[in-house]
Copies of this chain bind each other. A is one copy, B any other.
Amino acid sequence: MRDVAVRAGVSVKTVSNFFTGYPYMRPETRARIESAVAELGYRVNLSARRLRTRRTGMISLIVPELDQAYFAELAQEVIDAAAVHDLTVLVETTGGDRVRELAALTGDQRQLVDGAIVDPLALGPDDLPEPGAGLPLVVIGERQFEGLADHVLIADHEVARAAAEHLISIGRRRILVLGASGIATHTATLRREGVEAALAAAGLPADQELLREVPAWSRDAGAAATAAALDSGLAFDAVLGFNDALALGALYAVLRRGLPVPAHVAVMGIDDTADARFAHPDLTTMSPGRAQIARTAVDLLVARIADPAPESGFVSVVADHELIVRASTAPIA
């Protein structure tokens, strides 16, 4: 920067002003700096700037794993949304492991970013760093951190209820529910309650046999749980996966048995990943408005970075959702 200053015949400070967008500068001075920069091919040293300003221009997105379509798509949306604010996104994956989720929030990585967006799987409310003192934070999905951080919420109860209502509306009575237990997230509980509310409203019994545990919200787990249910002779005419991966696994398991979908079993998911669109039959699902979630999360985080004061209170935004009806739940003609 000194070289630029010398060449432009100004002081270092003026060159700095040029790069930080300080408005009070003679056009002539500006022009001289511009050409000096061009001739020297100079670029500001970001490490030095960071040391001085204590700002990194990066935010992190903390998710379980990228090879789940939902998270990959979310990551892409967050990257795009952050680009609008000139922010670079550092994607950190934790495998859904509590220790690693925690490490991403409190470890050295923390210094690399101005704030974080986290979609927690295993983290509990006690794990959050003291609000305000800690890293500016936006939590996606889980509502159990309300009052401790900003949130972008998915209306889990309503989404699941709407899904179950859709299945009931096409005449299904016995819905195999995947993801209702086995992982102790608040999300799972809320969704299960949504399903039970829909069943109750329709005057249908809530058979606990139909709520299947899964070890993970993955296609593998969905396929295995569905295969086990089929093997056990359990009767059901629909499967609701609490995410698309579970539902796609279920679809796979059902089709593999040679059972027709939706004629024998209707299948639907939640998430509206691109995978759902290209299944055959294509998968009915609930769209959680991923683009909106990503944009809102980034906006909230940017605001929180600008004003970390916790006295102003934390914000919770509930994302819109929408039923996407496809062939996997077509009414039987």
Contacts and interface: CB of A to CB of B under 8 A. Distances in A.
Interface of A: 43-48, 50-51, 54, 56, 58, 65-67, 69, 72-73, 75-76, 79, 88-91, 93, 108-109, 111-112, 219, 223, 248-249, 251-252, 255-256, 274-275, 277-278, 280, 282
B47 A111 contact: yes
29 contacts: A43-B111, A44-B108, A45-B51, A46-B108, A47-B51, A51-B51, A65-B76, A66-B75, A66-B76, A66-B79, A67-B69, A67-B73, A67-B76, A67-B274, A69-B72, A76-B93, A79-B91, A88-B109, A88-B112, A90-B90, A91-B91, A219-B277, A219-B278, A249-B278, A252-B278, A252-B280, A252-B282, A275-B275, A280-B280
Most B-side CB within 10 Å, residue of A48, A65, A274: A274
Question: Mostly helix, strand, loop or mixed at chain A's interface?
Answer: helix
B223 A278 contact: yes
The complex is assembled from copies of this chain, and their number is 2
Contacts of A277: 219
A43 to B, nearest CB: 6
Q: Which of A46, A54, A89, A111 has the most CB of B within 10 A?
A: A46
A108 B280 contact: no
A304 to B, nearest CB: 21
A297 B47 CA distance: 26
A93 B77 CA distance: 11
A75 B75 CA distance: 12
A237 B111 CA distance: 57
Contacts of A252: 278, 280, 282
A108 B252 CA distance: 46
Given A43-B111, A66-B72, 11 more contacts: A45-B111, A46-B108, A47-B51, A47-B111, A50-B51, A65-B76, A69-B69, A69-B72, A72-B72, A89-B91, A252-B278
